[in-house]
Amino acid sequence: MKMSDLVAQYIIRMLDESHGNCEIKRNELASVLGCVPSQINYVITSRFTPEQGYIVESRRGGGGYVRIKRVETDKRVAMMHIVNSIGDNISAASAGAIIGNLVEREMISEYDYAMIAAALSDKAYSCIPQENRDTLRAAILKNMLITHVMMK
């Protein structure tokens, strides 16, 4: 498992144990997990965004911290925020992170995850020119998520 996945899982566990609110000291968490503080920053900025249902407050310096709050929103509204955040193109890795977060937040099932991941994989686009894959992937991901919202 990648370090970024371990950091994200650790933070999610902290959020679960503290009813959706936690305060993290980057250096302390990096020491506990055996990584550098910049890895913590990367995970927070890429996986704990407003589009993914989190509010992050950060203070740097000696007593610096990161406060993360899980925002409980209507799943349809949250899904539409995610769709709107995707943009015109998306890499396979970024798409995987988005749908992985959707499973963790129980917005899609494991089965949905597997089907969407298969549809978005580079293997599925092997006959598409490389320069067009991320654009096609974004359009397909958006359509799949919108359809998912409409079916619920």
Cβ(144)–Cβ(116) below 8 Å: yes
Q: Please give the structure tokens belonging to residue 79.
A: 């899904």
pLDDT digits (tens, 9 = 90+) for 79-138: 888 888 898 999 998 899 899 988 988 889 999 999 999 999 999 999 999 999 999 999
Residue 1 has pLDDT above 70, yes or no: no
Question: Which of 70, 90, 109 is where one domain is finished?
Answer: 70
62 & 105 share domain: no
Question: Which of 22, 48, 70 is where one domain is finished?
Answer: 70
pLDDT at 138: 96
pLDDT at 92: 92
Domain that holds residue 45: 3-70
Average pLDDT of the chain, as a whole number: 88
Query: pTM value?
Result: 0.60
Amino acid identity for residue 97 in this structure = A
Domain count, the chain: 2
Cα dihedral sign, 15-18-21-27 = negative
Residue 70 has pLDDT above 80, yes or no: yes
Cα dihedral sign, 144-145-147-152 = positive
